Amino acid sequence: MGRRPLAIERSDVIWAIKVVQEAGLDVVKTEIHPDGRIVLYHQLEPIPEELEETFEEWRERTALEASVNARVHAEFEAKHQGPGKEILRAKLEGSLAKHREDSRLRQEERREERKEAKRQLPEVCTPKMLADIWGCSTRHVRKLARSGELRSFTIGKQMIRIKREDAEAFQSRHGPAILEPEATAVEPTIASPSKRVRAKPLSSRSEAPSRSSRPSRTREE
């Protein structure tokens, strides 16, 4: 089973660069590998020919670089293993939970902004727009416009439009909610005509007169 890649933070890279810089090396390039290795490339200042390093000096410098790299790797492994690994995992989970909460709050803010934008009236409103905002039917808004209680103008013969200032003035007079008035008179209901009951046919056994009660006919001889 392969080893899972370690989560490397920016602070880890900065810390590794500081360690290398403390050793007197100038970092010019940084590489981060999936297995958790941080590779730092450095470049020393050009050495004059008269001060060109000998083989022994080169070996000492190489050993110093190897020790620095080993120290960086060892401290990084110690930081991300054992208790440090659990702490890092808890920290990442906390960051993820905070990111989810922030995302949820942003979505709620955008939802409220869209609702607020819908509540704001445009320059010219249609009866349906006002009905959605006031919580009444479009028919009621048209009725108010035709009666003159709500100032409006007509485009063509049937397209009713209301200016924003007229709608706001009407809303300020009647409060935030403009509901349809309740019907005071109850319209009479016409009862459906009752069906004519048809007479049931008489049963030959129960309702029909028996033969004994009928007058007997004698045959004339």
| Burial of 162 (C-beta count, 10 Å sphere; 0-12/13-18/19+) | buried
pTM above 0.75, yes or no: no
Ranges of each domain in the chain = 10-81, 124-174
**What is the rounded distance in angstroms from the CA atom of residue 69 to the CA atom of residue 40?**
9
pLDDT computed for residue 199 by the predictor: 58
Q: Give me the mean pLDDT over the 140-153 stretch.
A: 82
Whole-angstrom distance, CA of residue 221 vs CA of residue 112: 112
* pLDDT tens-place string over residues 108-128: 888 887 777 666 666 778 888
Please check the confidence at residue 203 and state whether its pLDDT lies above 60. no
Give Cβ neighbours of residue 171 (< 8 Å, ≥ 6 apart): 134, 178
CATH of domain 10-81: 3.30.70
Structure tokens at 81: 């293993």
